[in-house]
Every structure is written in C-alpha cells, then in structure tokens.
A = this chain, B = another copy of it.
Amino acid sequence: MSKRLVAIGGVAAGMSAAAKAKRTNPELEVIAFEKSHYVSYGACGLPYYLAGWIDSVEKLVARTPEKFAKQGVTALVRHEVVEVDYPGRRLRVAALDEGREFWQPFDYLVVSTGARPVVPPLEGARLEGVFTLRQPEDGVAIRQALATAERTVIIGAGYVGLEVAEAFRAQGKQVTVVELQDRVLPNADAEVSELVLQELERNGVEVLTGVQVEGFAGDGRLEKVLTSAGEIPAELALLSVGIKPNVELASSFGVATGPTGAIAVDDKLRTNLENVWAAGDVAESRHLLTGEPYWLPLGDIANKHGRTAGTVIAGGRAEFKGVVGSAITKIFELAVSFTGLTEADARAAGFEVKSVWIKSADRAHYYPDPHPFHVKLVYETSGRLLGAQIVGHRNDALRIDAVAALLHQGGTVEDLRSLDLAYAPPFSPVWDPLLVAANQAK
C-alpha cells in the first residue's frame, strides 16, 4: 500500500518537499495544507509588489494548486492544521472556508509552518493602518491602504524594512524609518550601515536611529506613531522588527526545538520524532563556520530544506550540510550582500578577528558610468576567512558568492588572494575588488 506524506504549510519548504518527494517516488501520496490563500509564493517579492513593480500578488505564486495537481500533489489552501495526533499518525484540519474539520492520516510529516512577524506589545498595535508584512494577504492590504496614505512609518531598519522603504518611496509616499539601534541594517557592520544610510537619505527617506517606538494612536485608525523622540503623524505604519518561527504546533506533539528557538533538525531535516521532518523558516540549519545551529529564515534556504526533506522521505539520498549565511538586498541603487560572519558576530562567537574595508569600483577606471564598490573582509588572525560584506551596485554585489564558496571550503585570505576571477573592463577593475581586499589583509 502506498505511503502518505503530509506537509503542514505549503509555501517554499512545504511545496518543495511535496513536489520533490512525488517526483522521486511517484508511488507516494502527497498532500500539503496551507492556511493562507496561496501556495508556493515568493514572500521575498512582496516589497516589489508594494512598490507597484508587480501588478498582482498572484504573480508571486510559482505554481498553483492546479499545477501541483498535474504532478500528482494535492495542495489545499485555506486549510489549517490545528492539531497533530502523533501516536495516531493523523492530524486535524480546519477547512477555513467551509467551516468544517476533518482528520487526515499520514505516514510521513513535514512541518513547514514558517515564521511570523514579531508584534511587540505596544499600545495601538492592532489599530487600522498598522501592518506587518509576511503573506500575500498582508501585501494586498498594505497596497490598498497605501492608496490613501501619504505619510508612512516603518519600524525596524532590517533589510525587509528598508526594501519596503524603497517601495513606499517608489509609490511617492513620505517615509520615516525608525530603528531602535543606533544605525540602519544593524545586522551588518557599521561601515555598511553608514553607506546604506546615505543611500536612504539620498532617496528622501527620513531615518531615525536610536529611537524607540512606544505605541500607536488614532481614532479607530492610525494617526500617529508615538516614539521616544516624539510623535510622527502617519496614516500607515509597518512593524518590521523581526520574525519568529511558528513552532507551537510542532512543540505540542513533542517536536524538539534547538537553541535558536526553531526546530532542531539533522542534515536530512529529520526532527527528534520518527517520520517527522521540519523544513524552511521553522527549522534550524547548521552554520558551517561556527558548527552551531543557526536560524536562517530565507526563501532559498527553505527551498533547499524542502528539496532535501522530500528526497529523503521518498527514499532518495540527499543532505543539507549547512549554511554560511549568504544574503543580498537591493536598497535603491545599492546592492548589499553578505556571507559568513560580520566582524561583530565573529567577535561574539569567540574568534580572534581581523578585518579590512576597502573602496574600489565596479569597472575599469576608464569605463563609463562607474560606481563605488566596497568590500569588508573578516578573517581570523590565522588567516581563515570568516565573512565578507559588499556594498555594490546592482548585480555586481553577487561577487559575494565567490567568498561564500571559499567559506564552504574553509578557505583562507591567501586562497582568496590566489583566485583567478573573471575580468573585463565593463565588469571589474583589473584588480578585482575582492583581490584588493585580500591583498590588504595582513
């Protein structure tokens, strides 16, 4: 008799697991339950929908339930798994639009419940006009509200907050970013934050750092954001102060979380419970530089988690070895990319750290229309590379991937210095900026 795989949550990880399992073993019965209206959507694209660069939120969907059905995968939206009877190998599902519930048996389970925005316990945080951004429905609501809003406040200057700041400016709105810490993009090192701040200000974003949001006020709907630096009049506010993994359902039937608060998994995405996998934003990864569990809730990681889990469940061979923490974000004309540890993170992790910060350019000195290109290199006193940060222009910040590759291999500054990188005047100075940084690293 064929076995049944059920995924709880049908976005990146859940649908990747489902589709890959079915492709690997067509005998499997595969079902995914998704609480929202959409499966397989690219949440990372929501800021660009808000900017008006994508006309419909449906476009974020990679594959519809109909397409999954053609592959033999059942994807049910507006279906929330509300209880898991693990010993009975069944789960209780609420069909939200039908007002009914049913029990669904399973043999294999993938917990892919994702993460949700942190909403601080602030006065007025549930007022109309105060939003978080996570699901397509959030995007639709915000874009609707944006039509009549002129003054917007974004709370939190992480990369999502800043991507939305750009989106709101693209829509011609007044934007104030409020950040509790003393600089924007506080997960980057300070040199990077400084360049990002300049880019935000150059594009008309008002930035308040070291300012605490204390609440929201308004008569039914938002009229002002209350902060430690005074009131900011606004029709729309976005809370973007972080996310946390949706572990509650999994915890309720005995799935163990790790030190990060997300679900602990091995390199096959197995949890502590037999026949239960976890994948995506709800699950940890191993950080290859520290060897420790690490929570990296990003869409590309979720897809890889899902693909690995799906392969393993279907009886194939796959491993997810871990992450080095690579990421990139567009902030107006800047592209900021990361891999490995920042200097601050590396010190906190107990490494003996050195770093260099260099300014170069994105092309040969004589080639038209040059842009600055900054590299920060973080390394151990032994020479082992620990991380890099790039502030570039458009796609050139993808150069970070060369450092990411070296980090995976335990590479050193000397290894970086020796790299034969691609050069031509439209793409790079004759001394590639990564090599300039490596040459300066002593």
CB–CB B421/A326 < 8 A: yes
Q: Which residue of B lies closest to A323 (CB)?
A: B420
Q: Which residue of B lies closest to A53 (CB)?
A: B368
Q: Is A82 an interface residue (CB 8 A)?
A: no
- Determine which of B62, B325, B328, B399 lies in contact with A424 in the assembled complex, contact meaning CB atoms within 8 Å: B328
Question: Chain B CB within 10 Å — which of A59, A320, A402, A431 has the most?
Answer: A402
- Determine which of B365, B409, B426 lies in contact with A415 in the assembled complex, contact meaning CB atoms within 8 Å: B409
Tell me which of A41-49, A180-188, A374-382 binds B: A41-49
Q: Taking the nearest CB of chain B, how far is it from the CB of A268, in angstroms?
A: 14
Interface size on A, residues (CB 8 A): 74
* CB contact list, A170-198 vs B, under 8 A: none
Q: Is A65 an interface residue (CB 8 A)?
A: no
For this chain, the copies found in one complex come to: 2
Q: Is A102 an interface residue (CB 8 A)?
A: no
Query: What 0/1 pattern do residues 407 to 431 of A give for CB contact below 8 A with B?
Result: 0110100010011111111111011
Q: Is A298 an interface residue (CB 8 A)?
A: yes
CB–CB A367/B54 < 8 A: yes
* CB contact list, A114-146 vs B, under 8 A: none
With A395-B394, A398-B395, A402-B402 known as contacts, the answer to whether A12 contacts B430 (CB < 8 A) is yes
Q: Is A329 an interface residue (CB 8 A)?
A: yes
Tell me which of A83-91, A241-249, A334-342 binds B: A334-342
B residues within 8 A CB of A34?
A: none
Q: Is A279 an interface residue (CB 8 A)?
A: no
Complex-state Cα separation, A261 to B410, whole angstroms: 37
CB–CB B405/A406 < 8 A: yes
CB–CB A401/B423 < 8 A: no
- Determine which of B45, B301, B323 lies in contact with A366 in the assembled complex, contact meaning CB atoms within 8 Å: B45
Complex-state Cα separation, A394 to B434, whole angstroms: 19
CB–CB A418/B422 < 8 A: no
B residues within 8 A CB of A59?
A: 365-366
Complex-state Cα separation, A420 to B327, whole angstroms: 9
With A395-B395, A406-B405 known as contacts, the answer to whether A423 contacts B45 (CB < 8 A) is no
B residues within 8 A CB of A320?
A: 418
Q: Taking the nearest CB of chain B, how far is it from the CB of A139, in angstroms?
A: 12
Complex-state Cα separation, A13 to B191, whole angstroms: 33
With A396-B395, A422-B327, A422-B328 known as contacts, the answer to whether A367 contacts B300 (CB < 8 A) is no
CB–CB A401/B430 < 8 A: no
Query: What 0/1 pattern do residues 27 to 69 of A give for CB contact below 8 A with B?
Result: 0000000000000001011001000011000011010000000
Complex-state Cα separation, A337 to B401, whole angstroms: 15
Question: Chain B CB within 10 Å — which of A44, A364, A366, A396 has the most?
Answer: A366
Complex-state Cα separation, A439 to B303, whole angstroms: 13
Q: Is A299 an interface residue (CB 8 A)?
A: yes
Complex-state Cα separation, A241 to B30, whole angstroms: 58
With A45-B367, A432-B300 known as contacts, the answer to whether A404 contacts B427 (CB < 8 A) is no
For the complex of A and B, list the 10 residue pairs with the smallest distance between their C-beta atoms, beginning with the closest: A405-B405, A328-B422, A401-B402, A300-B423, A395-B395, A59-B366, A409-B409, A326-B422, A395-B396, A323-B420
A positions within 8 Å CB-CB of B: 12, 42, 44-45, 48, 53-54, 59-60, 62, 288, 298-301, 303-304, 307, 319-330, 335, 337-339, 362, 364-368, 394-406, 408-409, 411, 415, 418-428, 430-432, 434-435, 439
CB<8 Å pairs between A and B, sample of 6: A42-B364, A45-B425, A54-B366, A328-B424, A401-B421, A402-B402
